[in-house]
Amino acid sequence: MNSRLNIVLFAFAFNGLLSFYSYAQSPQKPYKNAQFTERILESANAWNTAKNNKDYYTQAKYTYRKLISSHGNVEKWISDHQKAVVRIEEKNAAGGFSTSKRNLIFDQTGKMYHAGEEIYCVVPFSDVLKVRDRNYISYCSLVAISADKGETWTFAEVTFMKDEHLDKFFPSFDKNVIRHKPKQGRYEEVPE
């Protein structure tokens, strides 16, 4: 009788240990401490300033490493990124959009999550784009990623990223968490 009780107690304890281990290994637990919000928003603004100034080396510094390495190295990413910017500017100019009059507004961060060795969170933003005599405001998101326990943050624009790219760059992340669904954009008259 005593050996059966020991076996049952052992099985019960072992099951509890397995449950705790699987919880501890869960890739998407909210990070309890939001102490990084100010640092994330400062870094997001630095990333945006570099982007607007076409300071590609600084922008690369704040871009998620896996995105950079998918191009081979920083120089190749910069070259590819410059070409993409030219294509976008030409397309937007043909449609009356002015990408040089663009402003991203960051004012909050989402919940923090662990995924492997990284911490990440969604950073929603308003994208204000000058369109002829009006502003077009759209609502998008970045993912902020830290590989050094919140000391530094890098970013990836994910709002319109294809699922296969999300799977490639963020295999441990829940797509429903990192892809902030964009709200309908709106036009706003520019005061004269």
Residues 140, 82, 92: CA angle, nearest 5 degrees: 55
Residues 23-37, mean pLDDT to the nearest whole number? 54
Q: Name the band, by pLDDT with cuts 50, 70 and 90, for residue 168.
A: confident
- The 10s digit of each residue's pLDDT in 169-188 is 887 777 666 665 656 666 66
**pLDDT on residue 58:** 95
**pLDDT on residue 153:** 96
Instruction: Give which of 105, 145, 138, 103 is closest to 122, Cα–Cα.
Output: 145
Instruction: Give which of 169, 184, 174 is closest to 71, Cα–Cα.
Output: 169
- Whether the Cβ atoms of residue 125 and residue 142 lie closer than 8 Å to each other: yes
- The 10s digit of each residue's pLDDT in 72-83 is 999 999 999 899
**What is the C-alpha separation between 156 and 64, in angstroms, rounded?**
6
The domain limits of the chain are 30-189
Q: Which of 18-27, 42-51, 171-180 has the lowest mean pLDDT?
A: 18-27
**What is the C-alpha separation between 3 and 40, in angstroms, rounded?**
56
12 or 38, greater pLDDT:
38
155, pLDDT greater than 70:
yes
**pLDDT on residue 97:** 64
Above pLDDT 70, what percent of the chain? 69
Token pair for 131: 């369109």
Q: Are strands 134-146 and 186-189 parallel, antiparallel or unpaired?
A: antiparallel
**What is the C-alpha separation between 74 and 57, in angstroms, rounded?**
8
pTM score: 0.72
77 or 133, greater pLDDT:
77
Q: Name the band, by pLDDT with cuts 50, 70 and 90, for residue 59.
A: very high
CATH architecture of 30-189: Roll (3.10)
143 or 181, greater pLDDT:
143
Question: CA 80 → CA 68, 102, 129, 161, distances in Å?
Answer: 10, 21, 23, 17
Residue matched to tokens 């964009």: 182
